[in-house]
Structure 1
Amino acid sequence: MSERATPIPTETATGESTESDAATDAADSTTDTDGSGTTETPTDQPAETEVPKTGATAVVEALETAGVEYAFGVQGGAIMPVYDALYHSDISHITMAHEQGASHAADAYGIVSGEPGVCLATSGPGATNLVTGIADASMDSDPVVALTGQVPTDFVGNDAFQETDTTGVTAPITKTNTFASHPDTVGTDVSEAFALAREGRPGPTLVDLPKDVTQADSTAEPQEPTTPDTYEYQTHADDDAVRAAADAIQSANRPVLLFGGGVIKGDATEEARELATTYEIPVVTTMPAVGAFPEDHELAMEMAGMHGTGYANMAVTHTDCLVAVGCRFDDRLTGGIETFAPDAEVVHVDIDPAEISKNVQADYPLVGDAGTVMTQLHEAIETPPQTKKWRATCQQWKSEYPMDYRAPDDEPLKPQFVVEAFDEATEDDAIVTTGVGQHQMWAVQYWTYTEPRTWVSSHGLGTMGYGLPAAIGAKIAAPDQQVVSFEGDGSFLMTMQELSVAVRENLDITVAVLNNEHIGMVRQWQDAFFGSRRMASEYHWCPDFAKLAEAFGAKGIAVDDYDEVADAVTEALEYDGPTVIDFHVDPEANVYPMVPSGGDNGQFALEDGHL
């Protein structure tokens, strides 16, 4: 996957690109010494010289010291010194087709590996093309380090070619960002960015790298990633607050554990599962937390919220004690705040004190690391809550509101059927990535997730096109796990150029396009709330995705009927390389259950007539 062996293009005086002088000289200097066809290198060939220490080498050394193995990016003028330093590094660089793809691939790499993903781009449009992926990582608290080229320091503020105020643009969507000002400190800037991306509440960080800083000589030595002395976060919750929360839990008649994405980010799934099973408390998850608790467990109520299960939303609506861990209570989870868990005392565990009572008022605020605080609660609960009757009620809701769907033979292929077919054919630790839209919801609803870091999607920002580049990052992070990306036709069209990367790197991933020739979720909302006026949501001009895949060099398969699904899934999973299956699914299929925006989670719709 490394491209270190590829000659690096350099610009001639006329602006034309040529291969490096070293590669050209090596080709030209060989001589036939004895007519036998063997060659030798002339004695005057210069020996390889030691790489000079510059700001760029300090950047790369900082990444190497942090243990970075892969970086995703796109070359360009202002970032070129850093790429030149990467030429001599063991870090494998994955050249993406677009900078947005690089940011999503790095994001997914961070989700799956637990370590920050690294993306690089040049100044100006390169940096601004990263913005969507950085914002996505910020909303979902994903660890990403972005390194952007910048025009030389003396040109900053002069509207130089490909200049953008990158730190200004990204300030609202990064955990921290830094304008590197000196070659002797730029390595430290990168090391701190890496540490900050993963410590405490994870998130994206950025270092802007002026070209004069990366080209200048440097005397800096690499350092282990450490956070600044001013950065602090709390790991243990206050003992008195823990005891009070434990009393509330053990006194509850209808307790619910609500696991958020922070459970997975904090590597706290073992503590979460132990807390739930020891005290036999039903478990609901947010969408980012899918996989934090095995969905085939009898205590699992699965995902709550706008398109959560009916039984999860009923459990949250009727609980008298909601224990939320690593959850930010966004509007897609809560619906209307005034109707969310109306009878519950709320225990809120979060490492970020800014999240406590931001949206839902916490009766028992517990600031600290998810795993640590759940262990504290576990030890503080002296008498288990009496949940037998409550658990029976939750099981009854599962029977009353099952996740099923109609699939008449005389109607087009249902997308839910496709998701279930892949779930049945893959291993338990298979990784699912998605774009955003109806296909995303079907992928989370009809796949049974039992392991953390196997669900990779865009949650808070809702970024269409996330699925394919995320599949690339996920496969790089976990090469021995199966990776299936569910995409919609509209979503896939946004970043499908990254298929060229999957082909070039021979990545064994499968893209399942649930092709309904619409921006499906928009069409569903237009039908429900805008008098069926389908303005700009119908995509009848979609290309043939199977043929397009073949043009890229991938395997392409088209599926129209139920009896073709199983063979197509098997063929794709057995193929050693990227496959795109164009599933032509029912264009009128809708996602249910559904809670209208701002609605009452306990009043979910199960079909069109319920809205």
Structure 2
Amino acid sequence: MSEPATPDAASPDEGDPEGRTDDEQERSEPTDSTETSEEAAAAREEAATRAPGSGAEAVIAALEAAGVETAFGVQGGAIMPVYDALSASTVDHVTMAHEQGAVHAADAYGIVRGDPGVCMATSGPGATNLVTGIADASMDSDAMLALTGQVPSDMVGSDAFQETDTVGVTAPVTKHNYFANDSDEVGRTVGEAFALANTGRPGPTLVDLPKDITFGETDRPVGEPTAPDRAVPDLEADEEQVEAAARAIQNAERPLCLFGGGVIKGDATEQARAFAREFEIPVVTTMPGIGSFPEDDDLCLSWAGMHGTGYANMAITHTDCLIAVGTRFDDRLTGGVDTFAPEAEVVHVDIDPAEISKNVHADYPVIGDAATVLDQLDAAIGYGDAPDTESWCAQCDEWREEYPMDYAIDPDEPVKPQFVVEAFDAAMDDDAYVTTGVGQHQMWAAQYWTYREPRTFVSSHGLGTMGYGLPAAIGARVAADDDREVISFEGDGSFLMTIQELSVAVRENLDITVVVLNNEYIGMVRQWQDAFFEGNHMASQYDWMPEFDTLAEAFGAKGFRIDEYDDVEDVVEAALAYDGPSVVDAHIDPEENVYPMVASGAANGQFALAEDQL
């Protein structure tokens, strides 16, 4: 994969009227990019070659050698030596209110930057509090490095205070994890873990750091961070695979591109867009692939799956050649696997051979880097041999008109959540970052926001982690250029799970806007209870919610409230104008549901537009 450009980080401080430290004010001034790059390279080389004094200093030197600018974490006993070394480092640290907040913030930071985010926690409960976020990153193939403290080596296995078998607990949800057992090697281990996280198919790695190892003396330089040779995949696909796939695409009458999260993670959006446009092939995305293709492009049918657009699901149902790039074909996309793309030959491009034919049989497997393979396919097809897609594109346009993404509003009825999402979308820049929690609000944010750029939709997909949105917004804000806007859509139930991180946003004076689509339910659970459990709202009604706008003020943020349509315009303008963290408590129609909807295990083409169709 190519190395993406990384924007300057922002870690505001209350000492400056604009919330920036002196160093950050200097970074915000225009600089010569070549000079900045050379300085960064020199700093990495110095960190890689200097002699550390301790294992903890080697850990931090490894982060500096990898070019890490920011880490997120919570201090504690077993990780204390590492934090002590961090205090003298060029790596900024954002102290979070809870370890789960730290891991989600690091995850989102890495998504925005295109490099692994870094989180830190102490042993025992600190480490176990990271597990949800590590599992989330694993499911979504997000590059991330977790550093956890551990009791001294000679106490491991004795049930010492705050001891947990962190390596054993996290083995199922990491790409690889390490138990550090040598002060001389710990720096190289951390560097390898960082490099491995972003090599091939990205994923989270973890290094468990016993206290005696980080306290131990060492003068061994950490070297450059390098992944093991065995982990470095071939970028180019086998030519025979490429030729076979190219012939299938040429012979298709109804070809369809399906772009997944791997297109974004592989920095292949430029190649994906060029490929689809050159051959005039309609495009659908997965939810993790949102932003890989501009949703305002005539070829784009938006995203497919359980709550995808009707026209995207119709295209998948009727395509005769599905060109799937960087997707694992999860059940939220496919519905019933036996009925998924029933008329199609499947071309599956992925860097991980384990994904080929795991869920959906690949008629034409093509194993390699997404950007590289798309270039190979482009060359193999050739412009003169492109499929004729005119009538197929016209059919897709008909489905777009037949199944529009619209909704009815009544000024005398409660506010529709879709209206709130669209109002913020219209008021914000095209390249704004959108983070979400998980639930109905996540689907509305995905459906009714127009995404044009990669890495702008930051959400929890495979694990479906409620509470992801606010800490993710913090991570995205720290990672983003100062002129990029950040908004988080949360549900009332989801927001309450990590609301403590609002204290971090206030302390750091982060300019983020949190919009709570408040229906006093765990909305998606309530929707399923209505559809499949005879309306038995067991444990899903949250009519005991606090006033989030008032609570935001107690944290030191700015609170706003929406109760009716007449409030929306003024609140949107005021919330976005506020220079700092703001929370909009938007009271929405509690009975509004997310449609279209494909029932679990059903065929994509059998989507419901109302409850009585399920």
* CA distance, structure 2, for counterparts of residue 436 and residue 521 of structure 1: 9
Amino acid in the other structure paired with 2:511: D
Task: Check whether the contact 2:200–2:231 (CA below 8 A) recurs between aligned residues.
Answer: no
Q: Any idea what SS the aligned residue of 1:83 has?
A: helix
3-state SS of paired residue (1:323) = strand
SS of residue in 2 equivalent to 1:287 = coil
Residues of 2 paired with 1:497 and 1:302: CA distance? 34
| 1:439 equivalent in structure 2 | 441
Change (3 A) 1:374 1:2: closer
Amino acid at match of 1:478: A
User: 1:467 is matched with which residue?
Assistant: 469
Q: Distance in 1 between matches of 2:458 and 2:152?
A: 37
Q: What does the per-residue CA deviation read over 1:492-519, in whole Å, with 9 as the maximum and x for residues that have no partner?
A: 0000000000000000000000000000
Q: 1:142/1:213 Cα in 2 relative to 1: closer, same or farther (>3 Å)? A: same
Q: Which residue in 2 is equivalent to 1:75?
A: 75
Asked whether the equivalents of residues 175 and 197 of structure 2 are also in contact (C-alpha less than 8 Å), the reply is: yes
The residue that corresponds to 2:184 in the other structure is 184
Aligned to 2:255: 255
Q: 2:505 corresponds to which residue?
A: 502
Distance in 2 of aligned mates of 1:560 and 1:479? 33
Q: Work out whether 1:245 is the aligned partner of 2:222.
A: no
- The partner residue of 1:549 within 536, 542, 552 is 552
1:55-109 CA-to-partner distances (Å, cap 9, x unmatched) read 0000000000100000000000000000000011111100000000000000000
Matches within 5 A, 1:212-231: 212-231=212-231
Residue 271 of structure 2 corresponds to residue 268 of structure 1: no
Residue 601 of structure 2 aligns with which residue? 598
Answer 1 or 2: higher relative contact order, Cα 8 Å, separation at least 6: 2
Match of 1:491 in 2: 494
Cα 1:349/1:51, change in 2 over 3 Å: closer
CA distance in structure 2 between the partners assigned to 1:264 and 1:237 by the alignment: 19
Q: Do the aligned partners of 1:433 and 1:468 also contact (CA within 8 Å) in 2? A: yes
Whole-angstrom distance in 2 between the partners of 1:341 and 1:425: 37
Corresponding residue of 2:450: 448
Q: Is residue 3–residue 93 contact of structure 1 (8 Å, CA) maintained in 2?
A: no
Q: Match of 1:287?
A: 287
After superposition, give the CA deviation of every residue in 1:126-165 in whole Å (9 maximum; x if it has no partner): 0000000000000000011000000000000000000000
Structure 1 position 2, deviation (Å): 6.9
Counterparts of 1:83-482 in structure 2, within 5 Å, are 83-382=83-382, 383-480=385-482, 481-482=484-485
Cα RMSD between the aligned structures?
A: 1.4
**Paired residues of 2:53 and 2:218 also in contact (CA < 8 A):** yes
Question: How far does residue 4 in structure 1 lie from its aligned partner after superposition?
Answer: 12
Q: What TM-score do the two structures reach when normalised by structure 1?
A: 0.92
Q: Distance in 2 between matches of 1:164 and 1:400?
A: 56
Using the alignment, how far apart are the partners of 1:513 and 1:102 within structure 2? Answer: 21
Deviation at 1:222, TM superposition (A): 2.3
Q: Which amino acid aligns with 1:519?
A: I
Paired with 2:413 and 2:358, the residues of 1 have a C-alpha distance of 46
- Report if the CA contact (8 A) 2:438-2:466 is conserved: yes
Q: Secondary structure at the match of 2:229?
A: coil
Q: 1:161 to 1:183 in 2, by over 3 A?
A: same
- Report what 1:523 is aligned to: 526
In structure 2, the CA distance between the partners of 1:353 and 1:179, relative to structure 1 (3 Å rule), is same
Distance 1:570 1:479 in 2: 21
Which amino acid in 2 is paired with 1:253? E
Q: CA deviation at 1:609?
A: 1.4
Instruction: Name the CA distance, whole Å, in 2 between partners of 1:410 and 1:523.
Output: 24
Q: Is the 8 A contact 2:99 2:130 kept in 1?
A: yes
| C-alpha contact 1:178 1:207 (8 A) present in aligned 2 | yes
Structure 1, gaps ≥5 residues long: 7-49
Using the TM superposition, name which of 482-491 and 217-226 deviates more: 217-226
Q: Quick one: distance in 2 between partners of 1:56 and 1:557? A: 45
- State whether structure 2 residue 536 is matched by structure 1 residue 533: yes
Quick one: distance in 1 between partners of 2:181 and 2:151? 12
Amino acid at match of 2:200: G
Unmatched 5+ residue regions in structure 2?
1-9, 16-49
Secondary structure of 1:178 counterpart? strand
Aligned residues with identical type, % of pairs:
71
Offset of residue 231 of structure 1 = 2.0
- CA shift in 2, pair 1:221/1:318, >3 Å: same
Amino acid in the other structure paired with 1:524: Q
Other structure's SS at 1:603 match: coil
**Which structure is larger by alpha-carbon Rg, 1 or 2?**
1
**Deviation readout 1:467-524 (Å, 9 max, x if unpaired):** 0000000000004210000000000000000000000000000000000000000000
Aligned residue for 2:308, secondary structure, equals: coil
Amino acid of the structure 2 residue aligned with 1:559: I
1:13-39 Cα distance to aligned partner (Å, 9 max, x none):
xxxxxxxxxxxxxxxxxxxxxxxxxxx
Deviation (angstroms), 1:410: 2.5
The answer on whether the counterparts of 2:51 and 2:221 sit within 8 Å (CA) in structure 1 is: no
The residue identity in structure 1 corresponding to 2:417 is P
Residue 568 of structure 1, aligned match among 558, 566, 571: 571
CA contact (8 A) 2:561 2:584 kept: yes
Among residues 580, 583, 586, which one is paired with 2:589 in the alignment?
Answer: 586
CA distance in 2 between counterparts of 1:602 and 1:404 reads 19
Shift of 1:220: 1.5
Change (3 A) 1:386 1:506: same
Q: Is the 8 A contact 2:284 2:304 kept in 1?
A: yes
* 8 Å Cα contact 2:52/2:58 also seen in 1: no
Letter in 2 for 1:269: T
Q: Give the Cα–Cα distance (whole angstroms) in 1 for the partners of residues 80 and 376 of structure 2.
A: 50
- Give, in whole Å, the separation in 1 of the partners of 2:398 and 2:89: 59
Task: State the shift of 1:51 in Å.
Answer: 11
C-alpha contact 1:4 1:88 (8 A) present in aligned 2: no
CA distance in 2, matches of 1:448, 1:524: 25
Structure 2 residue identity aligned to 1:327: T
* AA aligned opposite 1:166: T
Rounded Cα–Cα distance in structure 2 between residues aligned with 1:235 and 1:67: 24
Where 2:505 maps in the other structure, the secondary structure is: helix
The residue identity in structure 1 corresponding to 2:462 is G
Counterpart of 1:296, as a letter, is D
Asked whether the equivalents of residues 3 and 92 of structure 1 are also in contact (C-alpha less than 8 Å), the reply is no
Distance 2:526 2:120 in 1: 36
> SS at 2:583's partner residue?
strand
Q: Partners in 2 of 1:294 and 1:567 — Cα distance? A: 29
Q: Secondary structure at the match of 1:499?
A: helix
User: CA offset at residue 223 of structure 1?
Assistant: 1.4
Counterpart code for 2:421: V
Q: Secondary structure at the match of 2:219?
A: coil
**C-alpha displacement of 1:230:** 2.8
Query: Structure 1's 284 and 478: CA in aligned 2 closer, same or farther, altered over 3 A?
Result: same
Superposed displacement of residue 219, structure 1:
1.7
